[in-house]
Amino acid sequence: MSTHIVSVYDEDLKYLTRRISEMGGLAEQMVAESVRALVNADLALAQKVISDDTILDEAERQIGEKAIVTIAKRQPMAADLREIMGSIRIAADLERVGDLGKNTAKRVIAVSSASLPRQLARGLEHLAELALMQLKEVLDVYASRSPEKANSIRERDNEIDAIYTSLFRELLTYMMEDPRNITPCTHLLFCAKNIERIGDHATNIAETIYYMATGAQPVGERPKDDTANTVGAIGN
Amino acid sequence: MNMMSEAAVEKALDQKMNAVPFKMIGKDVSVYYGEKRALFDVNLNVRENTVTALIGPSGCGKSTFLRTLNRMNDTIDNCRVTGKITLDEEDIYDPAIDVVELRARVGMVFQKPNPFPKSIYENVSYGPKIHGLARSKADFDQIVEQSLQKAGLWNEVKDRLHEPGTGLSGGQQQRLCIARAVAVSPEVILMDEPCSALDPIATAKVEELIHELRTNFTIVIVTHSMQQAARVSQRTAMFHLGNLVEENDTDKMFTNPDDQRTQDYIMGRFG
C-alpha cells in the first residue's frame, strides 16, 4: 500500500504494529515458560512469568493511548481506521494471554508439592504446544495480513478444544482414583483451561486480522469441539 | 432470536436504500470547457430526501458535476454539457425548460456566504418575490419566518430583520444563504463546500441543519472534508480526474470502499 502524504502518520501506524509484535513475542514466551515451570516444578521460572506480566500490561496501555491519540489527530478512515481499532483489540487479547500464563505460573507452587503422573504432564505439554503454535502462527499472520491464513487458523481451534476435553476426562479419573489428587488436579484443570483459552484468544486475533485486511467479519460460526462442559453429565 | 446472516443484513440495507426513488438522474454526463474535457460520461443518480456527498481531489470534476444539476454551467461561456440529466424524469437540458424556474426547483448554496447587500428580511423575501410566490405582506412575513426557522437562524435574527445581512457573522451569513435558498421551496438544494469558510462551531450548526433539511429536501453537497461527508451524507460519490470512481453507501465508503483510488484518497495516501 502506498504511504501517507503525511509521513508521521505512517510512523504512528508502524509504532502500533511494532508494539503489537513485541507484545506477541512476550506473551508467547510467558505461556511457554509457565508450562515449563509447571511441568518441571520450577518456582523461579514461575516467579519470572508473574513479574513479566506487568510489562505486558504496560504495553497494552501504551498501545491504547497511542491508538486514541492517533484517532484524535489523524481521523483515520477505511483500512487505517480498521488497523487502529484492530491494534486495540489484539493488544487486549494478548494482554489476556499474558494473564492466563501468569495464572498458570501462580499455580506452580500448589501443584509442585504433589507428584504428578508423567503422562498428565505430557498431556498438558501437548495442549500447550498446540496453543502456542496457534499463537505463533496468528502472530505471523499479523505480520503478513493474509485473510486466507487468518481463516485457516480460526478453523483449527477445535483441535485444542478436543485435547482439552480429553485432558479434562483424564483429570477426573485421577481424582476419582485417589482423593489426595483432588487439589493438584483441580489446579491442573484450571491450567488446562487457561491454555485452552489461549487458543480462543488466538482465534479472536485471527478474526480481527481478517477484519483488518478485508473490512468484513469472517463468515460462519467458529468451529467448536469443546465438550468438557458436558463431561460427567448423565449419558456422557 | 434468529440472527440474520451478514449477507442478509447487507441485502436488507441495500433494498432499503434501493427503495428510495431517484430525484435526479445523470446519464453519460460529460462537460467540456472549450477544448478541455472536465467530465467523462458520469452516470450518477441522486436519491430523494437523501444527502449525497461528492468528494475527490481538487479539479476532479465534483463541482462541475454539481453545477450541471441546475445548469449553473450555462453562465460559463465556452462550457458545453452532453448526456442527459433529469429532474423527476424531466430533461433539464430540454430547450423548453425555463432555467429560472429550474433554479428555483434546484437551489444552490455557495462556498463563500454571499448575502445580497440588503436587509436580512429582503435577502430571504427576494426569491419568493421574483418568482411570485407571495403577494401580501403577511405572506412574505410568514415565508421569511419559516425559512429562517428552517435555517436555524430565526432566534438569532428575529429582532433585527431589517439590519443588513452582511452585518451577520460568517456562519450566520451562510445560514442566511440557506434560508434564502429554502425560501423559494426548492426540491433539491446543491451545496458547494458550504462550510469551508466557517469555523468549527458554525460548521456544526450548518451540518445539523443539513441533517434536518433532509426530511424536506434532496441535498447534494460537495465537500473537501472527508469527515464532513462521512457525518452528513447517506450516499457518497468519489470523483477522480473527471471520472466517477465509486458511488456507495456512506458507511461503506468510509470503512471499506470498493475502489483502490477511493481507499487511497480517503486515507490520505494520494501521491
C-alpha cell at A95: 494482554
Instruction: Report chain B residues touching chain A, CB-CB < 8 A.
Output: 5-7, 226-227, 230, 254-257, 263-264, 266-271
**Whole-angstrom distance, CA of residue B99 vs CA of residue B92:** 8
CATH number, domain with residue A88: 1.20.58.220
Between strands B90-91 and B51-55, the pairing is unpaired
Would the CB atoms of B266 and A78 count as touching at under 8 Å? yes
User: What pairs with residue B247 in β-bridges?
Assistant: B237
Please indicate whether, in this complex, the C-beta atoms of B269 and A76 are within 8 angstroms of each other. Answer: no
Least confident segment among B53-57, B62-66, B128-132: B128-132
Q: Look at A92-96, B48-52, B131-135 and tell me which has the smallest mean pLDDT.
A: B131-135
pLDDT of res. A79: 92
| Residues of chain B contacting A2 with CB distance shorter than 8 Å | 264, 269, 271
pLDDT at A3: 85
Taking contacts as CB-CB distances below 8 angstroms, the residues of chain B near A72 are none
Q: Could you give the ipTM of this predicted complex?
A: 0.71
Answer yes or no: is A221 within a domain.
Answer: yes
**Which of A75, A215, A219 lies at the smallest CB-CB distance from B256?**
A215
Using 70 as the pLDDT threshold, list the residues of chain A that sit under it.
1, 115-116, 233-236
Say which range, B48-52, B187-191, B264-268, has the weakest mean pLDDT.
B264-268
Q: Which among A77, A81, A222 is the top mutation candidate for probing chain B, defined by the most B β-carbons within 10 Å of its own β-carbon?
A: A77
Angle at B148 between CA B231 and CA B72, to 5 degrees: 65
State the CATH number of the domain containing residue B89.
3.40.50.300
Does residue B160 lie in a domain region? no
Q: How many domains does chain B fold into?
A: 1
Asked whether residue B121 is assigned to any structural domain, the reply reads no
> Bigger pLDDT: B202 or B99?
B99
Does the residue A236 lie in any domain? Answer: no
Within-domain flag for B133: no
Q: Is residue B164 part of a domain?
A: no
pLDDT of residue A235: 46
What is the phi/psi pair of residue B218, to 5°? -95, 130
d(CA A78, nearest CA chain B) in Å:
4
When divided into structural domains, chain A yields a total of: 1
Beta bridge mates, B190: B108, B220
CB A199 within 8 Å of CB A134: yes
A7 touches chain B (CB under 8 A): no
Q: Residue B89 belongs to what domain range?
A: 21-113+187-266
| Cα angle A196-A201-A203, degrees, rounded to a multiple of 5 | 100
**Residue A236 touches partner B, C-beta closer than 8 Å:** no
Nearest residue, CB atoms, A75 vs list B5, B227, B255: B227
Closest CA relative to residue B130, chosen from B103, B170, B152: B103
Judge whether B177 and B114 are in contact, CB under 8 Å.
Answer: yes
- The pLDDT value given to residue B17: 67
Query: What's the whole-number mean pLDDT along residues B177-186?
Result: 93
pLDDT for the residue A236: 45
pTM for this model (two decimals): 0.81
Q: Give pLDDT, residue A156.
A: 82
Decide if A215 and B266 are in contact by the 8 Å CB cutoff.
no
Q: d(Cα A111, Cα B223) in Å, to the nearest integer?
A: 66
Alpha helices in chain A (DSSP H): 7-40, 43-74, 78-106, 108-112, 118-144, 147-177, 182-214
| Percentage of residues in chain B having pLDDT higher than 70 | 93
Would you call A5 an interface residue with chain B, using a CB distance cutoff of 8 Å? yes
Residue B5 has pLDDT above 70, yes or no: no
pLDDT at position B180 over 70: yes
Interface A-B: count of C-beta contacts within 8 A: 49
Query: In chain B, at which residue ranges do the beta strands (DSSP E only) sit?
Result: 22-33, 36-47, 51-55, 79-87, 90-91, 106-109, 188-192, 218-222, 235-240, 243-249
A79 touching chain B per CB within 8 A: yes
Q: If you average pLDDT over residues B68-83, what whole number do you get? A: 92
Task: Please list, residue by residue across A147-185, b when 16 or more beta carbons sit within 10 angstroms of its beta carbon and e when fewer do.
Answer: bebbbebbebbbbbbbbbbebbebbeebbeeeeebeebb
Chain B CB within 8 Å of residue A43 CB:
no
User: Binning pLDDT at 50, 70 and 90, where does residue B43 land?
Assistant: very high
pLDDT digits (tens, 9 = 90+) for B145-161: 999 998 889 999 999 99
* pLDDT classification of B94: cutoffs 50, 70, 90: very high
Chain A residues whose CB is inside 8 A of the B255 CB are: 77-78, 81-82, 215
